[in-house]
Amino acid sequence: MKINIIAFISCVILINSLSAQSFSDSLIFKPSNGGLYPKNYEYGLSNISISGFYRFLACYTSMDPSLTHYPVMDSVFNRVFIGDDSQLPQLSLNIGVSPNKNTSISTDLYLWQQMTGSENDDFVKGLLLGVNLYGTHSTNFGTFGVKTGGIHWHKQSPLTFAANTGYNRFSLFERNPWDPNTSNIYDRYDDFYKNGALTQDERWGQQAFQGLIVEASDLPSGYSGSFMHGKSQLNGGSSIIPNHLTGGRIQKSFSRSFISLNGVHNQTYTDESTTNLLGFNLYTTEFEFKSKKNVTLYGEIGKGNYFSPNYDAGWGNAFDVKLNFDKTRWYKFPFEIRYFSISPNVINNNGIFWNTSILEYSQDNSQLDPGQAPILFPFASSLTQIGQMTNNRRGLILNTDLNFKNTKLTIGYSAAKEIDAISNQITYGHPSNSLQLSRFWRWGFPTNVGPYENINKVYRSVFETLNIEDPNGVSAKGFNSLEISCKTKTQINDRKLMLFYLGGFHSIQRDYNFLPTYDSTAYLQSYNHQLDIYYALTNKVTLCGYYGYDIIKAGMHTETNEDSGGYKDQEGKSFALGLDIQLERNTGLYIRHRWMDYIDHNFALDRYKGTETTVELKIFF
């Protein structure tokens, strides 16, 4: 009897699965089929989805003990690390539920196995982005959306709330944690050659935000807008001190143009008494106008201020305008002219420019409790890539693209100057081995580390501080940069071969110069070369190569070494090989091995030499 009942139930389920309705529809109760078994219910979930990724990363570092003088090594020169030092999970599950076609709820569960060998529990699990609620509703008046709950990725305008995307002049050899797999293992490099940009996930160009976001689109007369209230990445953590960020945007779109009003207000307090207010305001107008003759005018202008119990210098101006000329019969290549000017009084660590002027509330991020969000460390007078702006600076940027038969060339040049003479320090990076040097300090973002306590770690990179000792006093420094990116493709034995070259030539000197200063009167000169090589061995295997070389020289009126009496004279070299292997359509294996060698010829302890090997397995599902 039991066997007959089981057979009957199996037949009913089979019939339902073969019917026009899906099995999920069969779980919805309808009076017309109320007598069927199993019983159906009137309301249910229209869609449940589970997706995510698994990422395994192993890193082995071997440093030469006779040529490595960094105290962080602590006499352990061979290290094995399993896990992601970018503080991202190894397994992430994205679970989405849709009660109806206009509403969805999602959450991100993560699993993290550090395998550190410590006495603490190494197995970590929890929520990554929290429990997020998304809702949209369409009416004859417009479409309205709500995002609330956990962490969302959001962009308002470049100066108010966004992340810098630059001009896509970078090396592809080192994979980022957010880099996706591609359907063909070679597509990553092919797309970069064709489009000059990479396909990234939703975080690209956006900032993390937790709270309430309301968006409206398709409103009458071309209007749209958004409102947000909650916490940005610099307001989060477990602090009991009230802190929040509020922002909004109203946009009017035309056939070929748009104009918008944007604003952000951020506030917190200096202590738990909540009596001393600390924060900033920034209000801007963003616009874009496209002519029929291939000319585009884009810009964002506004005013902002920073306030605290010890600082209130009033409001300052923020100005960023670009004029783009596409290729026409009158001029044979496109080019861009860009002018920016951001007052030292304009502060916003959620925009595309760094804070280099307000130092009073910086702190040693290495001492933060695990639940606290780090405060962005001020970067003093920073040497930056073209396109990365800072406040307390104004300048001119020129960019152009030249396309030949199998070669694409992009050139950028900038000349800028500080508005006020604030800092007697310069900060700069080491392009060839920056990621590898940052891995000397696996967790946290320590400041003032290294053999001379002048290195500061940021996310997947480091920057070094140089002190200026100019007898003429602190100056408003000038900055010049020339960047060249050349991409070419060919074939060997009917297999694709691509070569990507990136060169950077920078100088920092006293006062403004339209042309760079490449002699000892400059405070700092930096030259770097990076060459990527990608060869398709088969349709599923790509051989990768990398060579990096940088020279950094400090000039007159900068700090000297007590022993040698010389200025900083640094030389970094890096050579690497790798393989990209496509195991399945959604599974990739990436192997990298790097030889690195770095020396400062006048600061004897600033020296390291060794190798690093990484193996990454990434599966999307």
Is the pLDDT at 323 greater than 90? The verdict is yes
With respect to residue 23, please indicate whether it lies within any of the assigned structural domains.
yes
With respect to residue 462, please indicate whether it lies within any of the assigned structural domains.
no
Higher pLDDT, 25 or 298: 298
Is the pLDDT at 467 greater than 70? The verdict is yes
CA of residue 483 relative to chain centroid, distance: 20
- The reported pTM is 0.83
Q: For residue 553, what pLDDT band results from cuts at 50, 70 and 90?
A: very high
Going by the DSSP 8-state scheme, the letter that residue 607 receives in this structure is: E
Higher pLDDT, 362 or 120: 120
State the residue range of the domain holding 35.
Answer: 1-44
Is the pLDDT at 102 greater than 80? The verdict is no
Of 65, 120, 60, 56, the closest CA to residue 92 belongs to 56
* 3-state secondary structure labels for all residues of 222-257: HEEEEEEEEEECCCCECCCCCCEEEEEEEEEECCCE
What angle is formed at CA 537 by the lines to CA 534 and CA 542, rounded to 5 degrees?
45
- The continuous run of DSSP H or E covering 275 comes out as none
What does 70-104 look like in DSSP terms, one character per residue?
-GGGTT--EEEEES-TTS--SEEEEEEEEEETTEE
Taking only the tens place, the pLDDT of each residue in 483-514 is: 999 999 999 999 999 999 999 999 999 999 99
Tell me whether the omega of the peptide bond preceding residue 99 falls within 30 degrees of 0, making it cis.
no
Q: For residue 594, what pLDDT band results from cuts at 50, 70 and 90?
A: very high
Q: How far is CA 465 from CA 422, 453, 462, 480, 521, in A?
A: 15, 9, 10, 18, 19
What average pLDDT does the chain have?
A: 82
Top-ranked range on mean pLDDT: pick from 28-37, 350-359, 404-413, 440-449 = 404-413
Q: What is the mean pLDDT of residues 414-442?
A: 91
pLDDT attached to residue 232: 84
With respect to residue 594, please indicate whether it lies within any of the assigned structural domains.
no
Q: Among 105-119, 395-409, 424-438, which stretch is predicted with the lowest mean pLDDT?
A: 105-119
With respect to residue 114, please indicate whether it lies within any of the assigned structural domains.
no
Of 51, 31, 47, the closest CA to residue 39 belongs to 31
H-type alpha helices, 361-515: 434-438
Is the pLDDT at 371 greater than 70? The verdict is no
Is the pLDDT at 331 greater than 50? The verdict is yes
CA of residue 579 relative to chain centroid, distance: 25
- The continuous run of DSSP H or E covering 478 comes out as strand 477-492
With respect to residue 1, please indicate whether it lies within any of the assigned structural domains.
yes
Q: For residue 366, what pLDDT band results from cuts at 50, 70 and 90?
A: very low
With respect to residue 17, please indicate whether it lies within any of the assigned structural domains.
yes
With respect to residue 176, please indicate whether it lies within any of the assigned structural domains.
no
Is the pLDDT at 362 greater than 50? The verdict is no
CB 172 within 8 A of CB 532: yes
The pair of structure tokens assigned to 255 is: 């056939």
Strand 353-354 relative to strand 389-390, pairing: parallel
Is the pLDDT at 1 greater than 80? The verdict is no
Q: What is the mean pLDDT of residues 272-294?
A: 87
With respect to residue 24, please indicate whether it lies within any of the assigned structural domains.
yes
Q: Among 80-84, 329-333, 465-469, which stretch is predicted with the lowest mean pLDDT?
A: 329-333
The pair of structure tokens assigned to 185 is: 């293992």
The pair of structure tokens assigned to 303 is: 């005013």
pLDDT attached to residue 8: 37
The total number of structural domains that make up the chain:
1
Is the pLDDT at 230 greater than 50? The verdict is yes
Tell me whether the omega of the peptide bond preceding residue 38 falls within 30 degrees of 0, making it cis.
yes
Q: Among 84-98, 196-210, 326-340, 532-546, which stretch is predicted with the lowest mean pLDDT?
A: 196-210
pLDDT attached to residue 115: 55
